[in-house]
Structure 1
Amino acid sequence: MSASEGMQVLGVWVHNLKPELVELSETFALRWYGLAYLAGFIAGYYGLRWLAQKRLWVVGPEKVADFIAYAALFGVFLGGRLGYVAFYMIPENGWGYVLGNPLVIFQVWNGGMSSHGGILGLTIFTYFYARRANSSWTGVGDGLVIFAPLGIFFGRIANFINGELYGRVTSAPTGMKFPKELLGREEDFHAAMKDAVSVDPEQLDGLWNNYLSSPATGQGQLLEGVLESGRSNSAIIDAIAGYMQIRHPSQLYQALLEGFSLFAILLLLRLRFPHIGHGIITGAFFMLYATFRIIAEHFRE
């Protein structure tokens, strides 16, 4: 990221990271969010294979690849997406939105996965997997829960890069400004975007007029265009910075708590007590995850 992309306004960084790693065309791009899932699956595969080779998991090394593939499809993606639809999409938009366009359920490329749904999906998947393999359900879970936090870690980093799921207003030195908060404040959004467009009307007038004629669809496009232009013109970010509040980067807090710290504790527990009974590590995961999540909720918006 260049110096112009990481701009400081009165000593507070304004988040303006690009969510795409590589844009392959106007309609398709390689996004950090997708790479986060890929990194989680790769880490899970090699980690579980290592555990299996050391005989610290009830699943054999030769079965790890199939386990990860099915867990990714039926546990993470199916559970995570259905969880998002149930916990977020329907409450925010109503049943009519989903029933009127059922295909929206499968449009994961537009974003929208639930960590709670993913955990529930993996729990159900491991139950049926263990029954089919005639293995201990909690024994299967004991391996999975060690490396699942790495997926959470990568996912929260991707949330941060996307500038979503930001935290509460703060005066802490770790605070920063997230432009996406303007989407929930109509008057401030309008004023901020008007100021931004005045800095570079040649580049932004088209998006501004589109927003004025169709606010519902043009709002997101206008903000995206302003942020894109702001990566090469710091005056644009300066123009909108005053409309934003300083907030906790709670995504990073969660990455460290629910992600890396939870992974390290569970891995240490597995290595320190190799003959520990089935289910203890799984139980530790749920207790620690809940504890870390409660802590993180004090910082989340």
Structure 2
Amino acid sequence: MLSWLHAIPYPDIDPVFLRVGPLQFRWYGLMYLIGLTLAYFIIAARAKAQKLPMNNDQVYDMIVYAAVGVFAGGRLGYVLFYNLSYYLENPLKIFAVWEGGMSFHGGLIGTIVALILFARRQGMTVLTIADLAAGVTPVGLGLGRIGNFINGELYGRPTDVDWCMVFPAGGMACRHPSQLYEAFLEGLLLFTVLWLITRRLPPSGTVFGAFLMGYGICRIVVEFFREPDAQIGFIVGTISMGQMLSIPMIVAGAVILAIAAQRKRPLQPDSSTAAPL
């Protein structure tokens, strides 16, 4: 076991930032709230810049649809992909969301379904909505991973790198702070790449396809440093469930990008609005 003597001290932040009587307000939930709020303002700005037929009320409705998809899909995805046998024996635990357990890949599927319903209700093309949502998703992902770090969960594998940390729930081993790796790759880096793509006003579906490929690649890379879920371990060799679920994302993203490349570029907006957020 790697020694903890050379570790960078884990900050050990209280997961609860505010207590009001029996109520507890947690950093992780706050990160979700901040992510959704930022998504609203960024989508509203981009819709205006691209002259899309969306007002602020429609943007708000889109965020609500996406949020429901994220939470419902994320929970069901965790149940199906990561701990099905346990929940088959304890079906009521499926609703115990306060105990933790969310899957990004399940949340992605739930969000896609929810936004398809939203697009049809609004009479807008699905790929237009998908591009808007994909372009801001890294904001929530990055903030969510910071929330994971504060909670001391989803930590990395044992290592002897100079920046390793000993997490309270991870025993005495010094580990990769893989949550911070994910916050950088899936959050800051992926958002920057998609922002640069969006500025070029590419054909519909390009941003969505690039997001699928980008996230899949980032997740596969980070999973080599992240400790696999204890109830599953590795699927094949050192390949984790997160990596297995990310491979179809890369394939789907490549297909969508190939199709989008055959489409015509949208009309250019006025020069004053040619550089959306």
Q: TM-score, normalised by structure 2?
A: 0.76
Partner of residue 195, structure 2: 267
Partner of residue 23, structure 2: 28
Instruction: Check whether the contact 1:52–1:61 (CA below 8 A) recurs between aligned residues.
Output: no
1:250 offset after TM fit, Å?
A: 0.2
Partner of residue 97, structure 1: 90
Alpha-carbon distance between aligned partners in 2 of 1:10 and 1:56, rounded to the nearest angstrom = 57
1:179 offset after TM fit, Å?
A: 1.8
Partner of residue 78, structure 2: 84
Identity, % of aligned positions? 42
1:141–1:57 Cα change, 3 Å: farther
Specify every segment of 5 or more residues in structure 2 that has no aligned partner in the other structure, as ranges. Answer: 228-277
User: Is 1:13 the equivalent of 2:8?
Assistant: yes
Alpha-carbon distance between aligned partners in 2 of 1:59 and 1:118, rounded to the nearest angstrom = 24
SS in 1 for 2:160: coil
Instruction: Check whether the contact 1:57–1:140 (CA below 8 A) recurs between aligned residues.
Output: no
SS in 1 for 2:90: helix
Tell me the amino acid that sits aligned with residue 95 of structure 1.
L
SS in 2 for 1:171: coil
SS in 2 for 1:247: coil
Instruction: Check whether the contact 2:74–2:105 (CA below 8 A) recurs between aligned residues.
Output: yes
Partner of residue 65, structure 1: 60
More helix by share: 1
Partner of residue 161, structure 1: 150
User: Is 1:53 the equivalent of 2:42?
Assistant: no
Instruction: Check whether the contact 1:136–1:278 (CA below 8 A) recurs between aligned residues.
Output: no
Alpha-carbon distance between aligned partners in 2 of 1:250 and 1:42, rounded to the nearest angstrom = 25
Tell me the amino acid that sits aligned with residue 140 of structure 2.
G
Q: TM-score, normalised by structure 1?
A: 0.70
SS in 2 for 1:245: coil
SS in 2 for 1:169: coil
Partner of residue 39, structure 1: 34
Tell me the amino acid that sits aligned with residue 249 of structure 1.
P
Partner of residue 138, structure 1: 127
Q: Deviation per CA, 1:88-140: give whole Å up to 9, x if none.
A: 3424x251112xxx2x3233223222111111111111222222222211111
Alpha-carbon distance between aligned partners in 2 of 1:56 and 1:296, rounded to the nearest angstrom = 37
Partner of residue 178, structure 2: 250
1:153 offset after TM fit, Å?
A: 0.5
Partner of residue 5, structure 1: none
1:17 offset after TM fit, Å?
A: 2.2
SS in 2 for 1:299: coil
SS in 2 for 1:23: strand
1:57–1:153 Cα change, 3 Å: farther
User: Is 1:279 the equivalent of 2:205?
Assistant: yes
Alpha-carbon distance between aligned partners in 1 of 2:51 and 2:106, rounded to the nearest angstrom = 27
1:130–1:18 Cα change, 3 Å: same
SS in 1 for 2:131: helix
Alpha-carbon distance between aligned partners in 1 of 2:47 and 2:56, rounded to the nearest angstrom = 5
Specify every segment of 5 or more residues in structure 1 that has no aligned partner in the other structure, as ranges. Answer: 1-8, 183-243
Q: RMSD of the TM alignment (CA)?
A: 1.7
Instruction: Check whether the contact 1:53–1:61 (CA below 8 A) recurs between aligned residues.
Output: no
Instruction: Check whether the contact 1:138–1:278 (CA below 8 A) recurs between aligned residues.
Output: yes
1:21–1:59 Cα change, 3 Å: same
Instruction: Check whether the contact 2:135–2:194 (CA below 8 A) recurs between aligned residues.
Output: yes
Tell me the amino acid that sits aligned with residue 89 of structure 2.
G
1:298 offset after TM fit, Å?
A: 1.2
Partner of residue 118, structure 1: 107
1:260 offset after TM fit, Å?
A: 1.2
1:59 offset after TM fit, Å?
A: 3.8
Q: Which of the two has higher C-alpha Rg?
A: 1
